[in-house]
Amino acid sequence: MGDAHTVRVLSTLALMGAVRSLAGRYEAESGGRIDADFAPTLALLDRLRGGEQADIVILTKQALDDMAAQGSVVAESCVDLARSYVGAAVKAGAPHPDIASPAALRATLLGARSVTYSRLGASGIFFAGLIGRMGIASEINAKACIIPQGFTAERLVTGEADLAIQQISELKLVPGVEIVGPIPLEMQKTPAVFSAGRLAASAKAAQADELLRFLTSAEAAPALRESGLEP
């Protein structure tokens, strides 16, 4: 597989669609290959602490900054890739509920049979805080389908929930669902920012830096947008 040209990437789930769609183009243009694995940021941090090797990590900006401060990621290599907004989805063909305003979102959440969100992902942590601030956490959690990690929208397809909350880029990866839209942007004061950097232990600095330049290039931007992210 041309191991010398293979860059190992550990990426948060939110970038899965974009990285997969860009991998073929990167290989064709540079001759380099991307070997990528995807999991929520907190799960990736556990794996890295456990000694898993990689050349590049794509995490939430805060997590990457923390790794750079500890010296495990090369600070000068860190680049911001995209902003991501948390949104809602329903099963394909289902009516789209009103989530356009904070009051409408509140009514929709309270009226839903079951809401699904993830415990580990950035979106799940945001949503748990949001329903707490709205004062409806106990009502929502009493009927919520909270998954440890993975794609919440899969629970729409199985019928376990009728409203899925996650990063829009992650909702878009599940077939058979429709995006309702973002949670009102005034409630998302600080959208998640996803950033990439080279691990200090990587033996492939030149290849990793070339891939980081590609991911932040103008030609990568359309794939990021297509996957539901904002470059």
Write out pLDDT tens, residues 162-220. 999 999 999 999 999 999 999 999 999 778 899 999 999 999 999 999 999 999 999 99
**CA pair distance 91, 162, nearest whole angstrom:** 7
Residues 72 and 99 in one domain: no
Q: What is the CATH number of the domain that holds 212?
A: 3.40.190.10
DSSP string, 49-79: HTT---SEEEEEHHHHHHHHHHTSB-GGG-E
Residues 8 and 58 in one domain: yes
Residues 53 and 127 in one domain: no
Is 200 within 8 Å of 74 (Cβ atoms)?
A: yes
Q: What domain count does the chain have? A: 2
Residues 163 and 107 in one domain: yes
Residue 1's pLDDT is: 37
Decide if 107 is inside a domain: yes
> In Å, how far are 89, 163, 186, 212 from 153, measured between CA atoms?
7, 8, 24, 30
Residues 121 and 153 in one domain: yes
Decide if 145 is inside a domain: yes
Decide if 231 is inside a domain: no
Residue 192's pLDDT is: 85
Tally the C-alpha atoms within 13 A of residue 77's C-alpha that lie toward its C-beta.
28
**CA pair distance 184, 173, nearest whole angstrom:** 21
Residue 189's pLDDT is: 79
Tens-digit pLDDT profile for residues 64-111? 999 999 999 999 999 999 999 999 999 999 999 999 999 999 999 999
Burial of 158 (0-12, 13-18, 19+ CB in 10 A): exposed
Tens-digit pLDDT profile for residues 114-153? 999 998 878 898 999 999 999 999 999 999 999 998 899 9
Decide if 209 is inside a domain: yes
Query: CB neighbours (10 Å) of residue 84?
Result: 28
Residues 113 and 52 in one domain: no
**CA pair distance 58, 139, nearest whole angstrom:** 35
Sheet containing strand 6-11, edge to edge, reads: 33-38, 6-11, 56-60, 192-198, 79-84
Note if the pTM is more than 0.75: yes
Decide if 136 is inside a domain: yes
Residues 91 and 139 in one domain: yes
| Residue 230 DSSP class | B
**CA pair distance 151, 157, nearest whole angstrom:** 11
Mean pLDDT within 49-66: 96
Which domain, by its residues, includes 171? 86-187
